[in-house]
């Protein structure tokens, strides 16, 4: 009889840190002590707290082990699972805000305290490769309810009443989108799951598919029933091998259980799913480019209308929703629209998953009710910036979004508030920046990404973004002019108004937001020829303070360019700025703080 479950994170992040070896070691050590019939080791999806991975959770003890190494397993098994004594030094713990006592209960850890997991409800709790565990968590109950108790229109009405909006970035009401397709004539219709997650730093969809693939499959089946479709595609980038592997397993299991295929639940409803792999083009996240890719064409957007609900894949009516949107569907049907609409704000219902990264202590995946403030996410969930650095900005919405500053930290997060503040929700990337980040360099980074990922179909995006990147590059190299700032703003507005698809229309946002909030940094680069954050190499100068120099020669010995000269023990060292490649090795090698970056 199983008395204890050992949950090992097997998401991409922890897998890169030997979680597979940790899993195998647990099974080996349990067998040595004859515990293999009492303790079950389970591979799960992402727990969310990626900063502390690899993670192992022990239930029902609610003990949470962080930064577990393969060599730690023997001690955890012998001490905790055999003798009943948790290994304290490996446990993740918080301090109670009032008493100062250690909190070891997983459910009370600060990282999770303000979260509400709906789309992520099973991630880190079940084996994603076992359909039985999903069913034990009320899986496929919503599909059964839909097929045996509800008409397609009732399903759509329930989605409308829930207030669920698309989590892929646009925020279009899900029920309304489904209604458009349902109302189209014809028997041949399609549904698509957009799993082409391409924003830098975003991993929400990947983690859901790795940790709970059946939730997405069930959501797609419900969508298909509602709109009258019998075939669906999951379009996922090939760079997500673990997610693809688990999706394939989940689809095969659903077919074996009669939850995909013909006459599901004896209702007469037929639905089948197919996986289509993308090659990693960011533009294929745009729905018409995605459709073109599924059809075997080059992934390039087309003008709208007609919208996919009228003319989609193979020219037939098609509804497209992203992974997170679909992961909410079954829970809305199972628990009711009133329950879901009671969460969040007036115009943005439910929760939102964010990939929290950058200069933040607790990087990871968080799911919060709409209306939670940026301050709560960054400081209470994320733990603030590490190394006592000052918070500078947060970039939401990835390359399509903008940066928000200290002034906007108390903004309740929802679709409308973020747009009014000068950014956007996007798919859910949230990158925190601190005092060491150069905002001109940040804008340049995102523009480099956009230029690389532009499909090149329309001139505003193909040419306009290159011109923007050229101007940003000149500014970071000390060759910019003040006139360039006005030129960039004018070009940004032109691109927003004339680009063909969402990629081009939102491409200028990082530039416009950094110009709005950090114009002084642009001016410093142009007028003073200085990068205030010390990031832009072309504007940096390295200098050795002769009064602090100990004449030890360490800086010279570590300089790869031979730009530092002096006499050991006799003469202070000097940097030849003409030879200096500004690599910073002199600063890191000097133990006396004699090297300055000015």
Candidates 402, 418, 440, 406; CA nearest to 519 is: 440
Q: Of 86-95, 375-384, 415-424, 425-434, where does mean pLDDT reach its minimum?
A: 86-95
Say whether pLDDT at 103 is over 60. no
The CATH number that applies at residue 161 is 3.40.50.11540
Q: What is the average pLDDT score of the chain?
A: 93
User: What is the total count of domains within the chain?
Assistant: 5
Provide the pLDDT for residue 95. 52
The CATH number that applies at residue 452 is 1.20.1440.230
Residue ending a domain, choose from 383, 413, 434: 434
**What is the tens place of the pLDDT at every residue in 372-397?**
999 999 999 999 999 999 999 999 98
Measured CA to CA, the distance from residue 579 to residue 598 in angstroms comes to 16
Is 139 a member of any domain? yes
Provide the pLDDT for residue 97. 45
Is 118 a member of any domain? no
Pair 273, 160 in one domain = yes
Provide the pLDDT for residue 196. 92
Residue ending a domain, choose from 528, 550, 583: 528
Pair 13, 79 in one domain = yes
Q: Give the SS3 label for residue 473.
A: helix
Give how far Cα 351 sits from Cα of 120, 366, 371, 417, Å: 10, 10, 9, 15
Q: Largest alpha-carbon pair distance within the chain?
A: 92
The CATH number that applies at residue 584 is 3.30.70.20
Tell me the residue range of the domain where 566 lies. 541-597
Q: How many CB atoms lie within 10 A of CB 581?
A: 12
Is 346 a member of any domain? no
Is 279 a member of any domain? yes
Candidates 17, 127, 106, 16; CA nearest to 68 is: 17
DSSP state of 159: H
Pair 138, 235 in one domain = yes
Pair 244, 331 in one domain = yes
Say whether pLDDT at 115 is over 80. yes
The CATH number that applies at residue 365 is 3.10.20.600
Is 411 a member of any domain? yes
Q: How many CB atoms lie within 10 A of CB 252?
A: 12
Is 555 a member of any domain? yes
**What is the tens place of the pLDDT at every residue in 530-568?**
999 989 988 988 999 999 999 999 999 999 999 999 999
Give how far Cα 126 sits from Cα of 5, 115, 204, 450, 552, Å: 10, 19, 17, 37, 58
Measured CA to CA, the distance from residue 264 to residue 242 in angstroms comes to 28
HEC assignment per residue over 182-244? HCCCCCCCEEEEEECCCCCCCCHHHHHHHHCHHHHHHHHHHHHHHHCCCEEEEEEECCCHHHH
Q: How many residues does the chain have?
A: 598
**Burial label, 88 (beta-carbon count in 10 A; 0-12, 13-18, 19+):** exposed
Give 571's strand partners: 567
**What is the tens place of the pLDDT at every residue in 200-243?**
888 999 999 999 999 999 999 999 999 999 999 999 999 999 99
Is 420 a member of any domain? yes
Give yes or no for a contact between 161 and 78, defined as CB atoms under 8 angstroms apart: no
Q: How many CB atoms lie within 10 A of CB 151?
A: 11
Measured CA to CA, the distance from residue 466 to residue 158 in angstroms comes to 45
Pair 11, 96 in one domain = yes
Measured CA to CA, the distance from residue 82 to residue 241 in angstroms comes to 36
Pair 186, 325 in one domain = yes
Give how far Cα 234 sits from Cα of 26, 34, 311, Å: 34, 43, 18
Measured CA to CA, the distance from residue 23 to residue 272 in angstroms comes to 34
Give 496's strand partners: none
Measured CA to CA, the distance from residue 384 to residue 398 in angstroms comes to 20
Provide the pLDDT for residue 220. 98
Measured CA to CA, the distance from residue 201 to residue 203 in angstroms comes to 7
Residue ending a domain, choose from 385, 401, 434: 434
Pair 271, 397 in one domain = no
Measured CA to CA, the distance from residue 36 to residue 27 in angstroms comes to 7
Pair 201, 240 in one domain = yes
Provide the pLDDT for residue 401. 87
Pair 289, 241 in one domain = yes
Provide the pLDDT for residue 474. 97
Pair 108, 148 in one domain = no
CA 387 to chain centre: 23
**% pLDDT > 70, the chain:** 97
- Quick one: tokens of 504? 């081009």
Pair 162, 293 in one domain = yes
Provide the pLDDT for residue 99. 43
Give yes or no for a contact between 554 and 595, defined as CB atoms under 8 angstroms apart: no
Provide the pLDDT for residue 98. 43
* Rg value, the chain, Cα: 27
Q: How confident is the model at residue 195 (pLDDT cuts 50, 70, 90)?
A: very high
Is 536 a member of any domain? no
Measured CA to CA, the distance from residue 146 to residue 155 in angstroms comes to 7
Pair 524, 551 in one domain = no
- The model's pTM is 0.92
Measured CA to CA, the distance from residue 526 to residue 513 in angstroms comes to 18
Say whether pLDDT at 184 is over 50. yes
């Amino acid at each position: 009889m199983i008395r204890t479950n050992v949950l090992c994170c097997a998401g991409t992040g922890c897998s890169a840190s030997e979680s597979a070896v940790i899993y195998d070691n647990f099974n080996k050590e349990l067998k040595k002590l004859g515990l293999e019939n009492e303790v079950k080791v389970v591979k799960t999806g992402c727990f969310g707290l990626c900063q502390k991975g690899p993670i192992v959770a022990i239930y029902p003890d609610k003990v949470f082990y962080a930064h577990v190494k393969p060599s730690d397993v023997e001690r955890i098994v012998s001490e905790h699972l055999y003798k009943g004594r948790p290994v304290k030094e490996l446990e993740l713990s918080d301090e109670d805000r009032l008493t100062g006592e250690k909190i070891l209960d997983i459910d009370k850890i600060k990282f999770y305290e303000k979260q509400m997991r709906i789309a992520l409800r099973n991630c880190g709790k079940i084996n994603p490769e076992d359909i039985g565990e999903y069913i034990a968590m009320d899986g496929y109950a919503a599909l059964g309810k839909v097929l045996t108790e509800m008409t397609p229109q009732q399903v759509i009405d329930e989605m409308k009443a829930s207030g669920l909006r698309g989590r892929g970035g646009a925020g279009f009401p899900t029920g309304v989108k489904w209604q458009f397709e349902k109302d189209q004539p014809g028997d041949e219709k399609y549904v698509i799951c957009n799993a082409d997650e391409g924003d830098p730093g975003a991993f929400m969809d990947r983690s859901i598919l790795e940790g709970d693939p059946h939730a997405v499959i069930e959501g797609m089946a419900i969508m298909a029933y509602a709109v009258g479709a019998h075939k669906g595609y999951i379009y996922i980038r090939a760079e997500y091998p673990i997610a693809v592997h688990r999706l394939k397993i989940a689809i095969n299991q659903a077919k074996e259980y009669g939850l995909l295929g013909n006459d599901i639940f004896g209702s007469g409803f037929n639905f089948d799913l197919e996986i289509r792999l993308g090659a990693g083009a960011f533009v294929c996240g745009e729905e018409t480019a995605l459709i073109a890719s599924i059809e075997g064409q080059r992934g390039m957007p087309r003008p709208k209308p007609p919208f996919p609900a009228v003319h989609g894949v193979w020219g037939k009516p098609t509804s497209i929703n992203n992974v997170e949107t679909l992961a909410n569907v079954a829970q809305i049907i199972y628990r009711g629209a009133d329950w879901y609409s009671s969460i969040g704000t007036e115009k943005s219902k439910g929760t939102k998953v964010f990939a929290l990264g950058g200069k933040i202590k607790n990087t990871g995946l968080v799911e919060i009710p709409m209306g939670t403030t940026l301050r709560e996410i960054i400081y209470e969930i994320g733990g603030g910036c590490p190394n006592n650095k000052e918070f500078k900005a947060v970039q939401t919405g990835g390359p399509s979004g903008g940066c928000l500053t200290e002034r906007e930290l108390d903004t309740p997060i929802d679709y409308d508030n973020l747009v009014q503040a000068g950014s956007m929700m996007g798919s859910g990337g949230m990158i925190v920046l601190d005092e060491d980040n150069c905002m001109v360099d940040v804008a340049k980074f995102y523009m480099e990404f956009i230029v690389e990922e532009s499909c090149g179909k329309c001139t505003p995006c193909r040419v306009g973004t290159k011109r923007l990147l050229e101007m940003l590059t000149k500014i970071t190299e000390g060759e910019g002019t003040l006139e360039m700032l006005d030129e960039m703003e004018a070009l940004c507005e032109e691109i927003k108004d004339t680009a063909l698809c969402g990629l081009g229309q939102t491409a200028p946002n990082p530039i416009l937001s950094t110009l709005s909030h950090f114009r002084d940094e642009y001016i410093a680069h142009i007028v003073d020829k200085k990068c205030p954050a010390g990031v832009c190499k072309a504007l940096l100068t390295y200098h050795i303070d002769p009064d602090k120099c100990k004449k030890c020669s360490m800086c010279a010995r570590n300089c790869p360019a031979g730009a530092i000269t002096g006499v050991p023990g006799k003469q202070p060292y000097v940097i030849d700025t003409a030879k200096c490649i500004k690599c910073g090795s002199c600063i890191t090698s000097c133990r006396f703080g004699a090297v300055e970056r000015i």
